[in-house]
Amino acid sequence: MISFVRGTVAEALADRVVVDLGSVGITVQCTPSTALSVRHGEQVELMTTMVIREDGWTLYGFADPDERTVFEQVQTVTGIGPRIALALLGTLSPDELRRAVGSGDEAALTKVPGIGRKGAQRLILELADRIGPASAGGVGDRSAFMTATTGWQQSVAAGLASLGWSAREADAAVAGIDPAVAAEATAAGDAADVGLLLKMALRGLDRS
Q: Where are the domains of the chain?
A: 4-62, 65-127, 149-207
CB-CB contact of 148 with 40 (8 Å) = no
The pTM for the full model equals 0.67
Question: What's domain 65-127's superfamily in CATH?
Answer: 5' to 3' exonuclease, C-terminal subdomain (1.10.150.20)
Contacts of 180 (CB under 8 A, 6+ apart): none
From residue 97, give the alpha-carbon distance in Å to each of 6, 16, 73, 139, 170: 27, 22, 11, 12, 23
The Cα–Cα gap between 115 and 134 comes to 21
- pLDDT tens digits for the chain (208 residues)? 789 999 999 998 888 999 999 999 999 999 988 888 888 999 999 999 999 988 889 999 999 999 999 999 999 999 999 999 999 998 888 999 999 999 999 999 998 888 999 999 999 999 988 888 887 654 444 433 333 334 677 778 777 777 777 777 877 888 888 777 777 776 654 455 677 788 888 877 765 5
CB-CB contact of 16 with 58 (8 Å) = no
**What's the confidence (pLDDT) of residue 188?**
53
CATH topology of domain 4-62: OB fold (Dihydrolipoamide Acetyltransferase, E2P) (2.40.50)
CB-CB contact of 145 with 158 (8 Å) = no
